[in-house]
Chain A
Amino acid sequence: MNEARFQIWRGTGDKGHFDEHVARIDEGMVVLDAVHQIQAEQAPDLACRWNCKAGKCGSCSAEINGVPKLMCMTRLDQLDLTKPVTVEPMKAFPHIRDLVVDVSWNYRAKMKVRKFKPRPPDAADGTWRMDQKDVDRVQEFRKCIECFLCQDVCHVLREHDKHEEFVGPRLMVYTAALEMHPLDVEDRRGDLKHEHGIGFCNITKCCTNVCPEGITITDNAIIPLKERVVDKFYDPLGKLLSIFSSADVSTGSKP
């Protein structure tokens, strides 16, 4: 029988420590299976969130060996099992208990984004017409499972604690989905600049790298939003700078 060692963060609020557990491992097992096994057999009160166990609900976010990941989609055979696997809660949010953190800020921040406002229906029966290609562009953003791993990794939130000033990559994706929605007529550019802190993002792309849905957060959502903001608040110098900076970062990606 194969075994692997796990260092799991235990504790409440600011206080905590790693507990080491040994779990039996089988072919195809994911980190969440190991956590459940430990919960059922060794630590019944070990707190963790999960729902779908299929990478679809975004509940089981954690930091595995220091990397923000979904526990249910991280296979043990992709990890180095010669050393203990560390499993810790996300760091950018207040800690509740063990692997569970308080993500309610994300829900509050979402309320600040102006809601969807459709143009009047295109047809007499109250329906709309949309092109599949316009739909495809937004569907990338609508794949988001709200796991908040991108929020966890973004240094603006994680290190600089700008939760009041910056809504973070998840909500940039959300805003992009609304702004690029073929039917939407609302204008969120002023909010992006003044309320949602789009200027704080310096395009490090860490968010894109952790997104389990493979959403190209920086290139496809944030940069186009930045360009829209610049277009609205046109001033010659700013425009010039933005051309340089976006040309700089978008090298190698789609225009």
Chain B
Amino acid sequence: MGQYEKFEFDVLVVGAGGAGLRAAIEAAASGVSVGLICKSLLGKAHTVMAEGGMAAAIGNVDDRDNWQVHFADTMRGGQYLNNHRMAQLHAQEAPDRVRELEEWGAIFDRTRDGRILQRNFGGHKFPRLAHVGDRTGLELIRTLQDHGIHQGIEVHMEHTVSSLIKDGDRVVGALAYDRERGRFKLFSAKAVILATGGTGRAFKITSNSWEYTGDGHSLAYNAGADLIDMECIQFHPTGMVWPLSVRGILVTEGVRGEGGILRNSEGRRFMFDDIPDLYKHQTADNVEEGWRYTQGDKEARRPPELLTRDHVARCIMREVRDGRGSPHGGVYLDIAWIKERMANAEEHIRRKLPSMYHQFKQLANVDITAEAMEVGPTTHYTMGGIKVDAESQMSAVPGLFACGECAAGLHGANRLGGNSLSDLVVFGKRAGEYAARFAAENGHGGIDDSLVEELSRQALAPLERESGEQPYAIQAELQEHMQDLVGIVRREDEMLRALEIITGLKERADNASVPGNREYNPGWHTAVDLQSLLTVSQAIALSAIERKESRGGHFRDDYPDKDPGHFAKVNVRVRKGADGNMEVDQLPIPPIPGDLQQIIDTESR
């Protein structure tokens, strides 16, 4: 005990997906020293899973596109819980961030005249997603990684941050342990950027990897930051459902963008049966028009399969619930049907959706150029998170910044596909820039050795306990209950039960024990991560109880309608109370300035 190595950086970035890497690159470019902590190996973060593309109103494919339309699409998609300023900055700056990636070596698919090609995606009025087949996320992270390694950033791979360290009100560092040996390291930093991704591991059926335990959310919460919109979880409509072993793995929306359609067991394209009023004027009402849209006809409106994710997910749930599902509890997603419409369909599918082809062939024995896929909703994205200032990405705690999925604001109640990769680079850059500025204006804080020792002792506790339950079982129970009680369809009584269960699981987690030593011991890592997972689960359940309406990713059976009055005007906030308990309340959404409101009004006509 009491042994830890010390490191000093101007800016410490926690998380090395797209947002963390972009933040680190920006901070390093401004001349400050930068440390980057990744939970896994560099380049393995969940960003690699992003398939469809990166939204930016470059207007290469349809020159009617511009930031105003992108802004309005994002706000409509988020059902107006979004931070309007973030949505504006995002729409305005995404094109530059895309061009900059090309300057750093990214290679996007091209238009005929050699410019960046853009594809259609749910909720985007025009073809807007720069993409590379269906592996855009890999292209993004690899580009940032290969550029980043030459910027003098010090990378600490396979480290988990267990606590943030404060000096007074300000965050001045972080305590982490390395996976390989379990050694503690103290990182003193003038500014800390959290870029830790989402909370998807709180649910049983998820597209998220083991890393997605809400570490950043929980670190920020414990440091005194506000979390908002935690009830807004995105369930992606199309995850694999069979075989069981692959349940939850993502099937890109790109399949539908390329013309894939959803059918129930009766062969009906059920998405035509339920088109929300908000989107009626933008949605095709017949098969023919929908097809023309996917093939680039600018006069056509999009097919209902490309409605927002929350809506499509619920329609699928309804088909399954009403007994019109596929044999393994999903519905059919069919891209093979395009054979009826084009000559070289099989080759076209393989070229446009190579990893989907590969994934289904290898994991499910399904040839997507010949047969339909079975798909169903899977936990995908956390819209809510750390409340930050739109310009600087700083949280309520001085010196603590957040960007990417762990920050909240841009996506409101529902994220549009393609807005995540652009979010990462737009706000990653901003966080890096402002954190570097903050570091230039502030010195290192004082760090109390005894506190560090106490924190490392807490983290080690599961290894020290002689007896106790394994963390794996507790985690599995939590995921099961969150899925059932706080999942796609929610009810007050069930969520209250979930809260009780979480309290019980917390007690058990506090007494969990793992055998073995500190060296690369996944049992221990699971025990540490479980604490974060429990914190975010509680935040999700509390927030979901507080929002007594249905909006975006948050759907309540007991309040199935949107409340245009009260709940349209508030964000739900969670924070740590003075007594150490979690508190929930509501914050009024700041009014949208006239010029932005006008854009929204024009676009929704």
Residues of A bordering B, CB below 8 Å: 12, 26-30, 33, 39-40, 44-59, 73, 75, 96-98, 100, 102-104, 107, 110-111, 115-116, 118, 126-132, 135, 138-139, 142-143, 145-146, 178, 181-184
Contact = CB atoms under 8 A, between A and B. Distances in A.
B545 to A, nearest CB: 31
B521 A47 contact: yes
Contact of B110 (A39, A130, A143, A181): A130
Nearest to A111: B149
A145 B110 CA distance: 22
A39 to B, nearest CB: 6
Interface in B114-148: 114-116, 132-133, 135, 138-139, 142, 146-147
Interface in B509-538: 514-517, 519-524
Interface of B: 40-46, 48-49, 99, 102-105, 107-110, 113-116, 132-133, 135, 138-139, 142, 146-147, 149-150, 157, 180, 209-211, 242-246, 249-250, 354-355, 358-359, 362-364, 470, 472-473, 476, 514-517, 519-524
B146 A116 contact: yes
A47 B355 contact: no
Given A50-B209, A59-B41, A107-B42, 20 more contacts: A27-B244, A30-B363, A46-B522, A47-B519, A49-B40, A56-B48, A57-B48, A97-B519, A98-B520, A102-B180, A107-B149, A116-B146, A116-B147, A127-B115, A128-B102, A129-B113, A132-B110, A142-B107, A142-B139, A143-B135
A51 B210 contact: yes
B99 A54 contact: no
Given A98-B520, A116-B105, A44 B46 contact: no
A59 to B, nearest CB: 5
A12 B113 CA distance: 56
B105 A118 contact: yes
A118 B103 CA distance: 7
A49 to B, nearest CB: 7
For the complex of A and B, the 4 pairs showing the least CB-CB separation, nearest first, are A28-B243, A45-B516, A129-B114, A44-B523
Contacts, number: 166
Contacts of A97: 180, 519-520
B209 A28 contact: no
Given A28-B242, A104-B157, A110-B149, A55 B107 contact: no
A54 B378 CA distance: 14
Given A30-B363, A45-B521, A127-B115, A139 B107 contact: yes
A47 B519 CA distance: 9
Given A44-B514, A111-B149, A52 B242 contact: no
Contacts of A102: 180
A59 B49 contact: no
Contacts of A129: 113-115
B146 A138 contact: no
A51 B44 contact: yes
Contact of B243 (A29, A128, A138): A29
Listed residue (B246, B470, B476) with the most chain A CB atoms within 10 angstroms of its CB: B246
Contacts of B41: 49, 59, 103
Contacts of A57: 40, 44, 48-49, 209
Nearest to A106: B41
Contacts of A110: 146, 149
A178 B105 CA distance: 8
A100 B99 contact: no
A56 B115 CA distance: 27
Contact of B132 (A51, A111, A139, A182): A139
A47 B522 contact: yes
A100 B520 contact: yes
A104 B49 CA distance: 23
A55 B209 CA distance: 12
Given A45-B515, A45-B523, A135-B110, A40 B476 contact: yes
B363 A75 contact: yes
Contacts of A143: 135, 138, 354
A115 B493 CA distance: 57
B472 A39 contact: yes
A28 B359 CA distance: 13
A26 B243 contact: yes
B362 to A, nearest CB: 6
Given A40-B476, A115-B147, A73 B363 contact: yes
Contact of B107 (A26, A54, A107, A135): A135
Contacts of B44: 51-52, 57-59, 146
Contacts of B104: 116
Contact of B245 (A30, A39, A138): A30
B175 to A, nearest CB: 22
Contacts of B135: 56, 143
A50 B210 contact: yes
Contacts of B517: 45
A196 to B, nearest CB: 16
A142 B142 contact: yes
Contacts of B470: 40, 44
A127 B245 CA distance: 44
B99 A127 contact: yes
Contacts of A59: 40-41, 44
A190 to B, nearest CB: 19
Contacts of B146: 110, 115-116
Contacts of B45: 51
A138 B110 CA distance: 13
B249 A54 contact: yes
Given A129-B115, A131-B114, A142-B132, A47 B139 contact: no
Given A29-B245, A40-B476, A51 B211 contact: yes
A143 B354 CA distance: 10
A115 B49 CA distance: 25
A15 to B, nearest CB: 13
Given A110-B149, A129-B114, A139-B132, A44 B522 contact: yes
Nearest to B242: A28
A40 B109 CA distance: 42
A28 B211 contact: no
A146 B43 contact: yes
Contact of B472 (A27, A44, A53): A44
A39 B522 contact: yes
B107 A138 contact: yes
Given A96-B180, A138-B107, A139-B107, A53 B522 contact: no
Nearest to A32: B245
Given A118-B103, A142-B142, A135 B363 contact: no
Nearest to B113: A129
Contacts of B245: 26, 28-30, 33
B596 to A, nearest CB: 26
B520 A47 contact: yes
